[in-house]
Structure 1
């Protein structure tokens, strides 16, 4: 039995009220779901709250899962991401107050380490020069991994605006970095 089949089996048993199967499902997936939550929220305490809430929803909605919704893990990640976005909204956490985290970038290689500090400063300067909507949308899309639709839910802006902000912001960012 493959990992997907095992998750389906545990989820189906969970839908029938099997607490042992739910415990196995939790044990197998909680680390990944916590990482998703922490990546979005950047606060361990909030990520823990979201994880707990996500598993409560998974317990109550296990019978609603169907394979046409994707893999079990994709379905569970979706629940977790939406719980995280809801928490951001309920705590009136505004994305425009998020500062770029210097640790979000990939690790440097030895050859790149000499030129990267200068490039990072330039990137931060160019990001700071963008309009707030452009900066926020780019950050949510590329750092937090939100889709265009998730950004519209998060910001309340129309889908067309979000797409334009990202497109224009990336064009301005490119011009700034090439200057």
Structure 2
């Protein structure tokens, strides 16, 4: 007759783990993990080829299994087989996510290739220079230009709002634009008089 060690006697059988798991006993999750985590990790690693992804999938399988333990019936099947089914779903989810990430990366790279960076940089420089030069203008010219270009008011609306003659508003806008064009030409080196 073979002597049973105390460690073997303390280790629950797969059927005992399954029954305790279905009943929601907290120690059964640990027992299930000890019993089947290596198998689940190996399946995930073979399918995904990435250790970090396989570790994530293994963790997700046990979290999903514990949360969905009410759906497991130990009389209908083995816990190991049920966990394997969950593993297949989590692997498929991870492969789908990888595919989506790859498509997004390719789309971003294509978009970056299509849009030259210098165009964005030139526009940014122009905006900064214009905002800086507007801040340096004295009133009422600064206010008139802001109302015209940031608030989209017409010349008559500006004249009415500021209680100024329409001709004065038009003069300030023209002189302000000439000033801004000159400053922009100095900063960028472009000939904006074209």
Is the pair's TM-score, using the shorter chain for normalization, greater than 0.5? no
TM-score normalised per structure 1: 0.45
TM-score normalised per structure 2: 0.42
Higher RCO (Cα < 8 Å, 6 or more apart): 1
